[in-house]
Amino acid sequence: MSLRLRPGRRTLVVSSLGVAAAAAVLGYVLFTGDDTPRTSATKANDVSGRATACLAADSASSTGGDTVTGIWSAMQTAGTQHGTNVQQMIEPATTAEQAAPHLAGLLVQHCDLIVTVGAPFGRATTGIASAAPSVPIIAVDSTLSTSPTNVTLLAGPGAAARVSERVGALRRHAAGS
Read off the pLDDT of residues 62-95 as tens digits, 9 standing for 90 and up.
Answer: 887 789 999 999 999 999 999 999 999 999 999 9
Rounded Cα distance between 116 and 140, Å, is 6
Angle between helices 159-169 and 67-82 (to 10 degrees): 30
**What is the predicted pLDDT for the residue at 40?**
47
Tell me the pTM. 0.71
Q: Is the separation of the CB atoms in 103 and 126 below 8 Å?
A: no
pLDDT tens column, 115-163: 999 999 999 999 999 989 999 999 999 899 999 999 999 998 899 999 9
Residues in a beta bridge with 113: 53
Cα dist from 133 to 85, 107, 113, 140, whole Å: 21, 11, 12, 18
Closest CA to 112 of 34, 46, 15, 20: 46
Kindly indicate the confidence band of residue 44, based on its pLDDT and cuts at 50, 70 and 90: very low
Best CATH choice for the domain 52-169 from the list 3.40.50.300, 1.25.40.10, 3.40.50.2300, 3.40.50.970: 3.40.50.2300
**Which of 47 and 70 is assigned the larger pLDDT?**
70
Cα dist from 175 to 2, 75, 144, whole Å: 70, 22, 36
3-state SS class at 64: coil
Rounded Cα distance between 89 and 62, Å, is 10
**What is the predicted pLDDT for the residue at 161?**
96
